[in-house]
C-alpha cells in the first residue's frame, strides 16, 4: 500500500514539475546579432558564435566541400527590408537562412528560403533563393566566430565572416535612390500626404539625385499649389531655367524672393556662394539686411561675403554693425574678426 501511494505521489509530482520551465544556462556558442542600414534598407544578421578553443577549424571542424550552418545551433539568418543585390546578383526582400560551402580557394554563399531550421541538417538545395561565390582572405587570428559590416559606402556594405585566421567577405548593395523613391511614394499616401512641405522635400530629393523627375515635378507643383514658399518656388525656377524657359524662371525666382524669410534668404545666399555666384549672393545678403535690419546675423553674412571678394573696408563696417546687435556668445568671434581686418 505504501509503495502504491509513493508511486502515485511520484507520478503526480512528476506531472506537476513538468508544468514548470527548466533553468536557463549559458550556451557554449552564444547568441549574437548585428544590424546595418544602407540608405533606408535594414540588414539584420542573427547567429551563434562558437569558439575555436585550440581546434583546427577549416577543413577539420568545418569540413571542406560540405554545406555548413555559418555559425552554430539553429540557422544563421540574414534579413533585408528591401530588395538588394549580393555580389552583383538580385535578392528579394525577406529573411533567409545563411549557409556556406567552404573550400580552400572559393566559398559558396547560400541564401535559403528556409530560415527556421536547426543548422544545416535539414538544408535542401531546392529551397535556395540565391547562391554566390566569394574568395576567402587571410586575416588576423580570432578565437570566436563573428560577423561584421565593413567597407561602408552610401549604397553598399560588406558583410564579413571572421574566424580563426580567415575573413569571408560578401558584398551587399542597394539601389538607394530607387528604394527611397518607393518609400517616398508610401509616405505620401499617409499623413505626410497632407503636408505641402513633404511634397517639396520628396521632389527636391529626386531632382538632386536625378531620379523619378517626372513624378517629382507633380509633387513640386502640388507643394506650390498648397503652400507657395521660397524653397519650392526657387526649385521650380531652377528647373524652368534648365529647360531654357529663362523668362518664366526669372519671374518665379523674383516671386520666390519676395516671399522669402530671413533664414531662407540667408541659406540661399550661402548656396549661391557655394556655386561661385558671389555677386548674386551679395545681392541676396543685401536684400536680407534691408528686410531685417534688427538682425545681427544678416550683417554678419553680408560682411563675410564682402570679405571673400576682398572688399575688406565695407566688410569691416558690417562686421561692426553685427557686433553691436549680436548676443554676447558671438562677441569674441566677431571681435577677433574685426581686429584681424582692422590690421590690414
Note the pLDDT tens digit of each residue in 291-310. Answer: 999 999 998 999 899 988 88
* Claim to verify: residue 109 and residue 183 sit in the same structural domain: no
How far from 318 is each of 101, 123, 168, 272, CA to CA, in Å? 70, 74, 60, 20
- Give the domain CATH number at 263: 1.25.40.10
pTM attached to this predicted model: 0.75
- Per-residue pLDDT, 21: 76
Give tens-digit pLDDT for 155-164. 999 999 999 9
Q: Using the predicted structure, report yes or no on whether residue 267 has a pLDDT greater than 60.
A: yes
Q: What pairs with residue 224 in β-bridges?
A: none
Q: CA 162, 145, 134: angle at the middle one, nearest 5? A: 35
Q: What is the pLDDT of residue 195?
A: 96
Q: DSSP 3-state assignment of 320?
A: helix
Please state, in angstroms and rounded to a whole number, the distance separating the CA atoms of residues 29 and 48: 5
Q: pLDDT-based confidence at 153, cuts 50/70/90?
A: very high
The residue with greater pLDDT, 22 or 217, is: 217
Mean pLDDT calculated for residue range 225-239: 91
Tens digit of each residue's pLDDT (9 = 90 or more) over 73-128: 888 999 999 999 999 999 999 999 999 999 999 999 999 999 988 878 888 999 99
Instruction: Calculate the average pLDDT of the chain.
Output: 89
User: For the chain, how many structural domains are there in total?
Assistant: 2
Q: Kindly state whether residue 19 falls inside one of the protein's structural domains.
A: no
The Cα–Cα gap between 127 and 275 comes to 54
Give the pLDDT band (50/70/90) at residue 18. Answer: low
Based on the fold, state whether residues 267 and 143 are members of the same structural domain.
Answer: no
Phi, then psi, of 305 in degrees rounded to 5: -65, -40
Examine the pLDDT at 14 and tell me if it is beyond 60.
no
Give Cα 198 to chain centroid, integer Å. Answer: 19
In a domain, 317, yes or no: yes
Q: Are residues 81 and 149 in the same domain?
A: yes
Q: Are residues 125 and 205 in the same domain?
A: no
The pLDDT of residue 275 is 86
* Residue ending a domain, choose from 120, 146, 174: 174
Q: Residue 214's closest CA among 203, 222, 224? A: 203
pLDDT at 17 over 80: no
Could you tell me what percent of the chain has a pLDDT over 90?
64
Residue 14 in any domain: the answer is no
pLDDT in tens, 324-335: 999 999 999 988
> 259 is in which domain, residue-wise?
177-343
Amino acid at each position: 500500500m505504501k509503495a502504491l501511494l509513493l508511486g502515485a505521489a511520484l507520478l503526480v509530482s512528476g506531472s506537476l514539475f513538468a508544468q514548470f520551465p527548466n533553468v536557463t544556462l549559458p550556451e557554449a556558442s552564444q547568441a549574437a546579432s548585428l544590424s546595418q542600414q544602407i540608405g533606408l534598407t535594414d540588414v539584420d544578421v542573427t547567429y551563434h558564435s562558437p569558439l575555436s578553443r585550440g581546434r583546427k577549424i577549416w577543413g577539420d571542424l568545418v569540413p571542406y566541400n560540405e554545406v555548413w550552418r555559418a555559425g552554430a545551433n539553429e540557422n544563421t539568418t540574414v534579413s533585408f527590408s528591401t530588395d538588394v543585390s549580393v555580389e552583383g546578383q538580385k535578392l528579394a526582400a525577406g529573411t533567409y537562412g545563411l549557409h556556406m560551402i567552404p573550400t580552400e580557394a572559393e566559398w559558396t554563399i547560400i541564401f535559403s528560403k528556409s530560415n527556421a531550421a536547426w543548422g544545416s541538417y535539414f538544408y535542401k538545395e531546392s529551397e535556395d533563393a540565391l547562391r554566390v561565390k566569394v574568395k576567402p582572405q587571410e586575416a588576423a587570428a580570432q578565437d570566436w566566430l563573428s560577423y561584421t559590416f565593413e567597407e561602408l559606402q552610401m549604397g553598399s556594405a560588406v558583410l564579413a565572416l571572421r574566424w580563426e585566421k580567415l575573413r569571408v567577405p560578401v558584398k551587399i548593395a542597394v539601389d538607394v535612390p530607387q528604394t527611397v523613391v518607393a518609400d517616398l511614394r508610401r509616405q505620401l499616401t499617409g499623413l505626410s500626404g497632407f503636408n505641402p512641405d513633404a511634397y517639396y522635400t520628396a521632389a527636391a530629393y529626386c531632382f538632386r539625385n536625378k531620379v523619378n523627375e517626372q513624378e517629382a515635378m507633380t509633387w513640386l507643383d502640388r507643394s506650390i499649389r498648397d503652400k507657395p514658399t521660397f524653397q519650392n518656388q526657387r526649385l521650380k525656377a531652377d528647373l524652368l531655367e534648365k529647360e531654357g524657359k529663362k523668362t518664366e524662371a526669372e519671374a518665379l525666382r523674383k516671386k520666390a524672393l519676395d516671399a522669402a524669410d530671413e533664414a531662407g534668404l540667408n541659406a540661399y545666399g550661402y548656396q549661391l556662394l557655394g556655386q561661385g555666384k558671389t555677386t548674386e549672393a551679395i545681392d541676396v545678403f543685401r536684400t536680407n539686411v534691408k528686410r531685417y535690419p534688427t538682425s545681427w546675423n544678416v550683417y554678419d553674412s553680408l560682411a563675410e561675403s564682402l570679405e571673400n571678394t576682398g572688399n575688406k573696408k565695407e566688410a569691416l563696417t558690417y562686421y561692426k554693425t553685427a557686433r553691436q546687435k549680436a548676443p554676447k556668445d558671438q562677441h569674441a568671434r566677431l571681435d577677433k574678426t574685426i581686429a584681424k581686418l582692422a590690421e590690414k
